[in-house]
Structure formats: structure tokens, C-alpha cells
Amino acid sequence: ELPHSLVAIPLIKDHHSFGVLCCYGATAENADALVVYVDAITNALANALHLNAMRETAITDALTGLYNKRYFLEALQAELHRGIRFNRSTSLLIFDVDHFKQYNDTYGHPDGDRLLKQLGKIVKDNAGSFDTSCRYGGEEFVLILPETKPDHAYLVAEKLRQIIEHTEFPNRKVTVSIGLVTNTNSTCTPEQLLQEADKALYKSKNAGRNKTTHVIVVDKNLGAIDVEEANKIGKKAEGE
């Protein structure tokens, strides 16, 4: 055995390289033996990579490259359970493009798709490392903000809204309406959280669009509290 000898065997299948098998301190005899295992190792690597690619395809939105609705629902369930376990808040942000149907009707669906693709990149670039960004469907996007307190969640939502508002898009200016919900209640289900976020989104639309409406769930039986409305009531009470 030579202490500094090295045998390097490329792992190749169907003209694709999967790496190199290296063996230090090999002799001629055990180097020959390694060749026997190369096909098995290569096939195992190829199959693992193929399965991983299939999984990524199954949970990824093809247009935007974000996670899809299927993955979002699984991730939301997991984050809510984690928040309950560690007694921490979980926030959910949902937004859609203002007047998107009008945009499609005016400029055509290919331009509408390009707009959604650009939005997906903005969301991905501005999401935190522990956040989960997804395309929920159509022109709706969602962002899961784990372990995020209400004040910080609102800052994240407003920053995203303003970035989109000031981004140059083809054809015309684009704005979004955002519904944001922060859960502090251990019995809230993913369905209830999504429902409250959706209600907040439509509050933003009814208030003139290009706006963030933030609600907090402290008791699922009492419903969500609108933060802006609660602040107004508090200020009014202080004035009296």
C-alpha cells in the first residue's frame, strides 16, 4: 500500500456526471474491487437525485418558482404546531394584485404571467431565511412568518407592499392589497388562520386597495382583532 496513492473513478450515467469516487491509500488490487461497486453507487445517486427533483417539482409553482398551495398548507400546519409547542406567535400574510383582471384584459395573459413571475422574484428576494413564500393560486401569494411578533410582521408586510408599489413593471404601475394575521392562540387551526387573513385582505381592498390590514387572533371564539381599529378605539378612549 502506498500512503499517498489515490484512485479517482468518475460516477457517470447516461452521459451525466454525478461526482467522483476517491479512495486514498489504495492498492492495485482493491482499486479493481472498487470498480465493481461504481455502477451501484452511481445508480443509487442518480435515483436519489431523480426522486428529489420529482419532489421539488411536485411542491413548486412552475411559473414563479415559489412553493405551491400544496406545500403551503403543509408548512402552515407545521409552523402553527411549532408555535403552539414553543408558545410563540405565527403570522400569515396573503396578498393579491390590484385590478389584475383588468391588467390581463388590457395587456394579455402572457404579460400577466410575466408580471406574476416578477412578483414571485420580489417575494423570494425579500422573504426572511426562515419564512415560507408560496403562490397560493392565480394572482394570490402567501408568506408564512414563523415566530414573528405583531409589530415586526406588520413591518414586513408594509415593506413588501412598498417595494412592489415602487418597482417598475412592464406596461403600468402595480400595487397589491395585503391581509395579515398574527396568531397568539394555541387552539387556532390553519383553516381559521387562512380565513382571517383572507377577511383582512378584503378589508384592504374595500378600503381602497394598496393597503395592509393587520388582525390578531387571541381567542378563536371571539374572532380576530383589527389592530388599526383597536388603536383608534384606544386613542379615542384616551381623549375622553
Q: How many residues does the chain have?
A: 240
Give the C-alpha separation, 199 to 53, whole Å.
36
CA distances from 177 to 46, 79, 113, 209 (A): 44, 24, 19, 5
Could you count the other beta carbons within 10 Å of the beta carbon of residue 132? 21
Q: Which of 79, 139, 140, 165 is catalytic?
A: 139
Give the C-alpha separation, 30 to 43, whole Å.
21
Task: Say whether 229 is catalytic.
Answer: no
143, 91 Cβ separation under 8 angstroms:
no
Q: Which residues are part of the catalytic machinery? A: 139
